[in-house]
Amino acid sequence: MGGSQGAQAINNFALEVALELKKRGIKLYHQCGKSDFQRVLYGYKKMPLKVVHITNTKDLQGDFDVAVFDFCKFMPQIFGACDFAISRAGASSLWELCANGLMTLFIPYPYAAANHQYFNANFLKEKNLGFLCEEKDLSCEILWDILLQSQQNIKQISQSLQNECSINAVKEMVDCVEKTLKR
């Protein structure tokens, strides 16, 4: 998941690992962004894979190896079909993944202001609730090691991620803004 704009490094990595994921019996749901969609779709179609372009929730039910899409408004259903994610580490993505209890390998955008995506992801890594790899270090071996490590405690991590998200988060933010404005 690289967000609505996509992330070329994540897109390239997904194309690189797609055949091995198929061998391991792992389906791939790939949000590649609008600007890179045609290239990524063509890349998958050149491989011996069953590829579908997701445009609605009905597409999630089919038989496929890779479901690719540029952007969609039904991410909760996609999150519900997944056990693990690879994603950038913007605040919105991080919160959505936590709220959905989706263990994630975060690949922070290396040019984000003040390297904030790295620090967002590191917050979860330090609590053993996520994994962090800088884009320049991303490799297949890192992914396979993480998948192996995470198999034993995926349910516990999923629950702990959801516990990180306060059910009253919006109210707490509004209260904080009101207190600040009153000063």
Contact by Cβ (8 Å): 93, 3: yes
CATH code: domain of residue 31 = 3.40.50.2000
Would you tell me how many other CB atoms lie within 10 Å of the CB of residue 149?
Answer: 10
Q: At residue 5, does pLDDT exceed 80?
A: no
45's CB contacts (< 8 A; 6+ apart) are 51
User: Which secondary structure element, helix H or strand E, spans residue 121, and what is its range?
Assistant: helix 116-126
Phi, psi of 82 (to 5 degrees): -110, 155
pLDDT at 56: 85
* Six-digit token string for 118: 């790295």
pLDDT digits (tens, 9 = 90+) for 141-156: 999 999 988 887 888 8
Residue 169 has pLDDT above 80, yes or no: no
Identify the sign of the CA torsion 129, 149, 144, 29: negative
The total number of structural domains that make up the chain: 1
What is the H or E stretch that residue 93 is in? helix 91-99
In a domain, 33, yes or no: yes
Structural domain boundaries, residue 88: 8-182
Does any domain span residue 112?
Answer: yes
Write down the pLDDT at residue 3.
63
Residue range 33-56: mean pLDDT, rounded: 94
d(CA 176, CA 172): 6
1 belongs to a structural domain:
no
| Residue 3 domain-assigned (yes or no) | no
pLDDT in tens, 104-122: 999 999 998 999 999 999 9
Q: SS3 for 28?
A: strand
- Chain-centroid distance of CA 29 in Å reads 10
pLDDT of residue 89: 93
In this structure, the strands spanning 51-53 and 28-31 are: unpaired
52 in a structural domain: yes
pLDDT, residue 168, reads: 72
d(CA 44, CA 20): 13
**Cα 176 versus chain centre, distance:** 29
* Burial environment of residue 117 by CB neighbours within 10 A (0 to 12, 13 to 18, 19 or more): buried
Confidence at 157, pLDDT banded by 50, 70, 90: confident
Q: Stretch 1-24: mean pLDDT, rounded?
A: 89
Asked, for residue 2, whether it belongs to a domain, the answer is no
Mean pLDDT for the chain? 90
Per-residue pLDDT tens over the stretch 63-73: 999 999 998 88
Q: Within a domain: residue 67?
A: yes
Q: If you average pLDDT over residues 63-86, what whole number do you get? A: 92
CA distance 132 to 118: 8
Question: Which of 11-25, 60-74, 127-141, 148-162 has the lowest average pLDDT?
Answer: 148-162
